Amino acid sequence: MSIQNPVVHIQTLPHGEGIDLPFYATTHAAGADLRAAVDADVIIAPGDHALIKTGFAMALPDNYEAQIRPRSGLALKHGITVLNSPGTIDADYRGEVGVILINHGSKAFTVQRGDRIAQMIIAPFVQADFRQVDALSATQRGDGGFGSSGKR
């Protein structure tokens, strides 16, 4: 089965000149790497967070979203992750893509211009048709949640 790749239009913003567009680091990568388009180093202290600009805006096709996710290497080595992970960018948003990074590590982390800071997944979605009902269908689980199915 062949899947048609969606076309995403990218606009480089003035402060993004010289920064690579989102790109897939390997042939089978699901996430496209995003780079920091900062003018000066941004130091994120332990427990602090910062909005890191990427220097581009984009237009997604209808019924697609972009999910902004952490990079595993930054998380493992430095405790850096995306605060609202995954961040969602809607198809009708035309502003600059920004990434909210948080430092869960024990040392300050420096973001420099051009650093790979996150990854972006382009994914289709459907909108639900929400309908009010008087009762829901019964299931074996019922309203059990938050660990009700056990640990093992």
User: Cα-atom radius of gyration of the chain, to the nearest Å?
Assistant: 19
Mean pLDDT, rounded, for 82-106: 97
- Report the pLDDT value the prediction gives residue 150, as an integer from 0 to 100: 74
Other Cβ atoms within 10 Å of 75 Cβ, number: 15
Question: What pLDDT, in 10s, does the model give residues 140-149?
Answer: 888 888 877 7
Domains assigned to the chain: 9-124 (2.70.40.10)
pLDDT at residue 8 above 90? yes
Banded pLDDT at 84 (limits 50, 70, 90): very high
Nearest-angstrom CA–CA distance, 98 and 52: 6
Other Cβ atoms within 10 Å of 122 Cβ, number: 19
Assign 72 to helix, strand or coil: helix
- Cα-Cα-Cα-Cα dihedral sign, residues 117, 118, 122, 127: negative
Nearest-angstrom CA–CA distance, 93 and 57: 9
